[in-house]
Structure 1
Amino acid sequence: MGERRPLPPQTYRRLVIKVGSAVLSGPAGRQQQLAIAAQIAGLRREGREVVLVSSGAMAMGLGKLGLMERPRTMPGKQAVAAVGQPTLMYWWEQAFGWYDLKVAQILLTAEDLAHRHRYLSARQTLETLLEWGIVPIINENDTVMVDEIKFGDNDQLSALIATLVGADLLILLSDIEALYEADPRTHPTAQPIHFVERVNAQVLQMAGDDPNRVGTGGMKSKLLAAEKAQAAGIPTLLLPGTRSQSIAEALRGEPIGTLFAGGNRRYSGRKLWLYQLPKPQGEIVVDAGAALALRQGGASLLPAGILEVRGQFGVGEAVRCLDERGHLIGVGLVHYSAAELRRIQRRKTQDIEAILGYKNTDEAIHRDYFALASELEAR
């Protein structure tokens, strides 16, 4: 944390912009939507590409149905989102139409990005839309969401999309103006922080978890999204979505909002996808020796180091690896199914063929298909 560093605008050709529900809800929501479309149109005139991640289906549905708060049941939430999603897209289409820009709707679940071929397919679709000069508008597919396939919130989705499309910058537009030393709602004298070098435990302590009435995220969610983007070397800007020129002002280097540095890219390609997987298919608990070898030695995981296999998954699917205390070590692609691993766990590699009647490989997870978790996630 320190003094705000300027953003050289010419280096940010591709942007992912996430708009929170609180920005689009209420009496001024429509005007905010028009102002955001105007800002994105300005970015397009400068030769930039923009992918928009928009919350708001739930908020729109609540308004249309005259409800004061989100339903408590999953079917109720799905129904409200189904009512609100067409309106959300209609207003975006109208807003961008003022600037002769076409839009495309893309609804995703975590399951869509947890499968490598679907992940690559989504990327190809987005690349094509950008090539055609269309603004993709992405939202979580709330109408079919269940706990097992939720991203958590659109902050997390936006970080994954930024990685998916190789964005140069992630922008989070929120009703929260910046990261503060403490929650300004309960600490009125708290000061804004305009630059964060790295999201760590100290930074997370400044966040509050409470979302607003219509949203699902909070400051902590935004910090975790910034941390995901940092893993891909992508800087993040947290800006006030209710300020009509906040993006242009931030790109000029004015001290508005909070800039999270991109840092060094830790992973790329398949390993980056593994690192950011929203919903791995199962879990493997390993012993202390295997945990040490994975964390410090860059080793593969052998069946002998496996203590427990949780869930059901097939060959080639992604799983979380945990140590004996339940701390996350990393995520990898398995060479054996859950049923096969249960049969060969704690056994030596030379015993695999005798137990199963065949042997795919010596390794349960090869080191080339394993992404080590950051210190932040492992806590």
Structure 2
Amino acid sequence: MSSIPTLNPSKTLTIISPSSSSYSTQKPSFLSTQAKTHFKPTQILQKFQSFSIVMATKQQEHEPSLNGLINSDHRDEVIIAAKNALSNCLSETNLHLHIPSLKSKTRGKVRDVYDGGDYLVLVTTDRQSAFDRVLASIPFKGQVLNDTSLWWFNQTQHIAPNAIIAVPDPNVTIAKKCSVFPVEFVVRGYVTGSTDTSLWTVYKNGVRNYCGNVLPEGMVKNERLPANIITPTTKAADHDVPITPEEIVQQGLMSQADYDEASSKALSLFEYGQRVALEHGVILVDTKYEFGKGPDGSVLLIDEVHTPDSSRYWLAHSYESRFQNGLEPENVDKEFLRLWFKSHCNPYEDKVLPDAPEDLVTELAWRYIFLFETITRSRFQIPETMIE
């Protein structure tokens, strides 16, 4: 497939063909009641088949400085743009109401997934989730996650084939329809975390055999494990449930052969991700992978890869000194937002949660972009704020 020009980076999900010479900046009708779509639904399949994976990034001459996480002109630029975009987040989509070929919609915590028959349309929204619920909407988040996953999908094809077909919009991915395994492969390199299912939480409560992994005595929070481990969970509707590999096979969630293949790929992906991340100045602490079986029976990597939503990242240059002094690592993910909610409410039981402060929301937007730019060594294209 031939490359297509980069889309105009705005909050538009306008789908275009490779021959298009100009792009609309108007929101299509499934995002705004004031706008119209820019293609005929009957053309959607033909257009999807001609798409190729593109990255909405521009190569920089220098890798972003880690010091720039706290103080930099670029940070100020992103924070201002994020504040201006707070009212323009992509929080809801309804493609199925306007495109007849899309049969149904499944609303996930972050992604809206549409059934297109032989393919799926995945829209990565700006919704922010933690504690198995949506906490806020973060400007630019959907585009950052999509861009980050695409970069890692391209980098890891030698380890695990993936389901990606095309990316017609910065927030949209077209993927092969797979038979998804009802198991998430959570891979961990450190004893850390703040949620009820985090490794540190269960460890400090005395658990020494977790999801089939024997944990040594005497470990402290944020310490590196002797070896990377997999702590799988079932993909329950309301919350994830830890499970052992033996239980996965016994309950018929996966065959032994499929589990062995997927777990091997998960560990290899994580080891590769750790190596690449460290080369770029950050530590990949833990992450989760999802797999499915493609039409030909092959095990494919799906969903997302090494994003700040699915992964925990720390700044490498300060980890050792902070760990030795009993300080929390400098994180580049959503952990600080988790901690804010835990200190202001019970995010597991309270029916109504407080609104996340604006400064935390815009800070998270910056951290996601900072991480993307640090790892990919490319400049994130900040969407232009559209005027209605």
Q: TM-score, normalised by structure 2?
A: 0.30
Query: Which structure carries more strand by proportion?
Result: 2
Instruction: Tell which has more relative contact order, 1 or 2 (C-alpha 8 A, sep 6+).
Output: 2
TM-score by length of 1: 0.31
Larger relative helix fraction = 1
